[in-house]
Amino acid sequence: MSGTLLAGITGLALLDALNPATIGGVALLLAPLRRPAATASAFVAGAYAVVLALGCALFLGAGAAAGALDGGALWVRRAALTLAGAVLLVVAVRRLRTRRRAAVTLPGWVGPWTAAPLGVLVTGADLPNAFPYLIAVERLVAAQVPVGTGVAVLAGYAAVYCLPCLVLLVAGLTLGQRVRDRLQRFYDRFGSAREVPRSVPTALALAGLGVAVVVLAWSW
């Protein structure tokens, strides 16, 4: 496990940390809950668990495929990067039309014992778009990282993925109403119902990146 590989995966995790689970965590802080600390902690635990579980499943499955097939590592690399490129292309197409984004709201049943499943749902719904995670898993498989080391790296990746949500939750729970007022502005900007306008430049940039990733997958 080289320092360069670890640094690259850390960078991918930081990129991946900008995720809807953060907005869901902010919504938790703004809602009138009886036990906000326990509920918020359970939400982060659920988000962390689903990210780690999926990463381990991908890593172990891809590692098994790479070991079972002649040239398996090459095909795992191609499959992972092609899927990541396809995700970017799908996102690019979505930016070509104006769409209505629903507000992030909390169901009435959310509490200390049910926030973890909510964290699983909110975070799991975004994981198909987490193309940096696919690339990180591919890098671990291509480097033939041992299973124990790979799982430890993925545990760290999941922690970084959940870090923004955790920082906001801790700040809101410890620093009080002033932080919540600022979080309310954040929620109004990113979590409330709003219309996302079409953006041709953004779509072209995402499409170009997606094509580049696919080309890299089959030429590397």
The neighbour count for residue 46, using CB atoms within 10 Å, is: 23
Q: Are 214 and 82 in contact (CB under 8 A)?
A: yes
pLDDT tens, residue order, the chain (220 aa): 677 888 888 888 887 777 666 666 666 666 666 677 788 788 888 888 988 998 898 888 877 766 655 556 677 677 777 877 888 888 888 888 887 776 666 666 777 788 788 778 777 777 666 778 888 888 888 888 888 898 999 999 999 988 887 887 777 777 767 777 777 776 676 666 677 788 888 889 989 988 888 887 777 6
Cα 3 to Cα 19: distance, rounded to the nearest angstrom: 26
Cα 104 to Cα 192: distance, rounded to the nearest angstrom: 6
Q: Are 196 and 101 in contact (CB under 8 A)?
A: yes
The closest alpha carbon to 144, from 78, 81, 80, 74, belongs to 74
Q: Are 66 and 72 in contact (CB under 8 A)?
A: yes
Cα 10 to Cα 140: distance, rounded to the nearest angstrom: 12
Q: Are 175 and 38 in contact (CB under 8 A)?
A: no
Tokens at 175, concatenated: 């620093």
Cα 64 to Cα 58: distance, rounded to the nearest angstrom: 10
Predicted model pTM: 0.73
